[in-house]
Structure 1
Amino acid sequence: MSSDAARTARQFGDGPLSRAAARVYTLIVVEVLLLLACLPGLVPLVLLDPDASNIPLYAACVLPLAPALSAALYALHHQRPDLTDLRPAAAFRRGYRINLAGVLRIWVPLLAWLTVVAVNLAHLDVAAVPRWWAVPLVGVAAVATLVWTNALVITSLFAFRARDVARLALHFAVRAPGVSLGTALLLSASAAVTAVTSEAVLALAGSVCALALLRVAAPMTATIQREFTE
Structure 2
Amino acid sequence: MKFSLKNKIAIVTGGGSGIGKAITEAFVEQGAIVHILEINPEAAEKLASELNTEREAVTVHTCDITDGEKVATVIQKIPKVDILINNAGIAHIGNLENTAGEDLDRLYQVNIKGTYNCMHACIAKMKKNRNGVIINMASIAASVGISDRFAYSMTKGAVLTMTYSVAKDYVQEGIRCNSISPARIHTPFVDGFLSKNYPGQEKEMFGKLSATQPIGRMGEPEEVANLAVYLCSDEASFITGTDFPIDGGFIKLNG
Could you tell me the TM-score, scaled by structure 1's length?
A: 0.30
Larger Rg: 1 or 2? 1
Higher helix share: 1
Higher strand share: 2
Of the two structures, which has the highest relative contact order with CA contacts closer than 8 Å and spacing of 6 or more? 1
